Amino acid sequence: MIKSIQQVEHSGIKKLEKIIESFMIASKDMASFVYGIRDEVIALGLDLIKKTLEDCSQMLRDSVKRKQSREVVRTDRKKLTTCLGTVCFEKTLFRNKQTR
């Protein structure tokens, strides 16, 4: 999860800085500036949710305890509708080794 936050921070901060710099230099109207910030913050939130869900899926795949009793069936692409928008992520599906 720390990795997800660092990735989002690295890319997100640069994009926000560009929006602010563009506003300061070009002095566009206030509404464009506010909408630009809003859109980028929403995109950052969606990206953070996606990366966190995929990190959780990876932790489950790597779990020694889970590997003893479960096997990976497949990885599906899922869509999750949130108040920020739709998040598309990959989800791992498992099957119990004994009950198959």
Q: What residue ranges do the domains of the chain occupy?
A: 2-96
Name, of 31-35, 61-65, 81-85, the range with top average pLDDT: 81-85
Whether 8 has a pLDDT exceeding 80, the answer reads: no
What does the pLDDT read at residue 80? 96
> Residue 6, class by beta-carbon neighbours within 10 Å (0-12 exposed, 13-18 middle, 19+ buried)?
exposed
What does the pLDDT read at residue 99? 84
What does the pLDDT read at residue 1? 60
Query: Are residues 94 and 60 in contact, defined by beta-carbon separation less than 8 angstroms?
Result: yes
Query: Are residues 79 and 28 in contact, defined by beta-carbon separation less than 8 angstroms?
Result: no
pTM here?
0.79
> Residue 88, class by beta-carbon neighbours within 10 Å (0-12 exposed, 13-18 middle, 19+ buried)?
exposed
What does the pLDDT read at residue 34? 93
The closest alpha carbon to 20, from 6, 41, 5, 34, belongs to 34
Question: Which pair of structure tokens corresponds to residue 16?
Answer: 């926000």
What does the pLDDT read at residue 9? 75
What sign does the CA torsion over 47, 52, 58, 61 have?
A: negative
- Say how many C-beta atoms besides its own lie within 10 A of residue 5's C-beta: 13
Is 87 or 7 the better-scoring residue by pLDDT? Answer: 87
